Structure 1
Amino acid sequence: MSESAFQLVDPAFFSRLESIELRARGIVEGFMQGLHRSPFVGYSVEFASHRKYAPGDDLRHVNWKLYARQKRLYVKEFDAETNLNLYIILDISRSMTCANTGMSKLDYGSALGAALAHLALKQRDAAGITLFAEDVVAHLDSKARPQQLDEILRLIAGTPPNQPSNVGRALQQAAELCRHRGLVVVISDCFGDLEGIVQGLEQLRFRKHEVLLFHVWDLWERSLPLEGRIRFEDLETGTEIPAYAEGIRDAYKKRVDRWCSELEDECLSRGIDRIELTTDQPLDSALFNYLVKRSKMFS
């Protein structure tokens, strides 16, 4: 049995797959419960038929005029038009395995990407995913087929992080794979050369995509809320640097803030939305921010 075939019957593989799926569903369902309006911004629908009312159906879709005539409850059904190609570009480099606050950046980004795909497919849009590290590692074309979410989850769960990152080069490769104009969601810690990252993002914009960047941090990386002697470890090279947190915190935070500000300016100048997240933040709020940004296209 090949290694890839073994993965498909490995209990650990199924455990990870189920974890991602459950978390993704929880994010979407929790988000929907918190909204008073439809989250499907730009969702185009057309009346198709009626069916009998079933407990749990949305009462807003009940045809009350028909009820007045027949004294039976019927629900309107609609056909949806696919109006979006969603391309998720997820960083799976070794730096994404950082997990100082319980959940790794990779698990956080995987759940976020799965939730976005789940939401897009639920409204009958197309979704696909590209996994990258130093280069593009795996890719699934954007489609609106019923089994697409399962394929996306399998690809995420079955592709372990095993390379250093080169965000800029990988984004330029990914741009070649996003063949139809759509919404590109990049999920990454953006560790790398700023110029290269910007060039990669520019390639996506050059192809007329709307680009949204979820910039994911571990809380300790972002603000260094520690005391005493600590040891920094580069997860991609294994290099270690000992230091005292109090002695470097202010300079560290200023440098990180400056780098984030420079990336933010580069994104804004190119019409790219950047949402900064730390892994201790609820994922449903990240999804909310995504939909708020998305809604600007249709306001």
Structure 2
Amino acid sequence: MSTLSSEIELLAAGNRLSILAKHIVDGFLIGMHKGTRRGIGTEFSQYRSYQPGDDIRQIDWKMYSRSDRYYIKESDVETSVTLRFFLDASASMLYEENAYSRFKYASLVTAALGTFAHRQGDAFALHIVNDKNQELLRESRNKHQLNRFYQMIESAECKGKWPVTEDWITDNVSSLKREFWVVCSDMLDSIDTWKSFVKLAETIGNEVHFFQILGANELSLPSREIMTVKDPESNQERNIRTSAVREQYQKNLAAYLDELKSSVISRRTHLDLISMETPVTEALRSILQRRQTS
């Protein structure tokens, strides 16, 4: 199984994002049982028990042969929803730990998810997001889509902040098609920003899966006595004595994370907090489990 250390070492050694993403997905698929290989954007037919008065022509006899019970298939075909990826390219994504940036890690997560979606035949789109410039790769499942997807991620530049309004989404997303949105971000913006994002998604009728990506040092503060911290969006630096602020820092962070979760999580919205040390395969596994239970 792929580990984060091997993933980042390969990326840091100059391997292209496309090569590494395919390597991760290949390893992940080998470990999956064939019967569980469900696309992220696939929604399966639903069954219910046969009730007196139902048309017997609707009974699924294959299900009966396997279970010795009568079931009615409520939908005859599998349906597919478009996957729409939102990759945060604000300046705070330039934060680094262990010689790689949050954006590099988030790019790898996004690239692996897109690769998996392409392998499963799902249509997908990509937004590179900051308030200075929003880049868009429109949804498609054609054979060239994945290479365009990789190229857009690799050419992205981090600057500015996450946009405070959602005009850039409403201008480019149809309200007539159901979609599954995947967001890779540190989510260190105003909670109201994310509440508005979720409200828009739910109004349109879409599901959202957030990957909130934070560094191990951000989650706990390192043990060294003096630490220099830098705000990547303002470039301001200051030295802090970690022993003096760690307890209050952890309380404040826990309060923020609790408020964020309570503000955005719902029946159709899920949030995974992942460390920059988490193997990317865990993100793949998490989102597939979410889709199987949604």
TM range (shorter): 0.7 to 0.9
How far, CA to CA, are the matches of 2:97 and 2:259 in structure 1? 26
- Seen in structure 2, the aligned counterparts of structure 1 residues 210 and 269 have a Cα distance that, compared at 3 Å, is closer
Change (3 A) 1:287 1:214: same
Aligned equivalents of 1:216, 1:133: Cα separation in 2: 16
Residue 162 (structure 2) aligns with: 166
SS at match of 1:114: helix
1:116 is matched with which residue?
Answer: 113
Q: Which residue of 1 aligns with 2:202?
A: 205
Is the contact made by 1:91 and 1:133 (CA closer than 8 Å) also made in structure 2?
yes
Taking the TM superposition and a 5 Å limit, the aligned residue runs for 1:214-293 are: 214-269=211-266, 271-293=268-290
Instruction: Note the 1:1-299 alignment, pairs <5 A.
Output: 19-36=16-33, 37-41=35-39, 42=42, 83-134=80-131, 136-161=133-158, 163-169=159-165, 171-179=166-174, 180-269=177-266, 271-297=268-294
Q: Cα RMSD (Å) of the superposition?
A: 2.4
1:172 touches 1:204 (CA, 8 Å); kept in 2? no
Identity %: 23
Separation in 2 of the partners of 1:135 and 1:296? Answer: 37
Aligned residue pairs: how many? 247
1:220 to partner: Cα distance: 1.1
**Cα deviation, residue 178, structure 1:** 2.6
5+ residue gaps in structure 2? 1-11, 46-76
Q: Tell me by how many angstroms 1:155 deviates.
A: 0.8
| Secondary structure of residue in 1 paired with 2:252 | helix
Compared CA separation, residues 238 and 95, structure 1 to 2 (3 A)? same
Runs of at least 5 residues in structure 1 that lack an aligned partner in the other structure: 1-14, 46-79
1:144-194 residue CA offsets vs partner (Å, 9 max, x unmatched): 110100001111111211x2213543x552244232321000110012111
Deviations 1:186-206 (A, max 9, x none): 110012111122112211221
Q: In the aligned structure 2, how far is the partner of 1:133 from the partner of 1:293?
A: 27
Cα distance between partner residues in 2 of 1:17 and 1:85:
32
Deviation at 1:256, TM superposition (A): 0.9
What SS does structure 2 have at the residue aligned with 1:178? coil
Q: Quickly say closer, same or farther: Cα 1:205–1:266, change in 2 above 3 A.
A: same
Taking a change above 3 Å as real, the CA distance of residues 44 and 294 of structure 1, as seen in their structure-2 partners, is closer
For normalisation by structure 2, the TM-score amounts to: 0.78
Distance 1:266 1:241 in 2: 31
Q: Structure 1 residue 221: deviation in Å? A: 1.3
Q: Does the aligned pair in 1 maintain the 2:87–2:185 contact within 8 Å?
A: yes
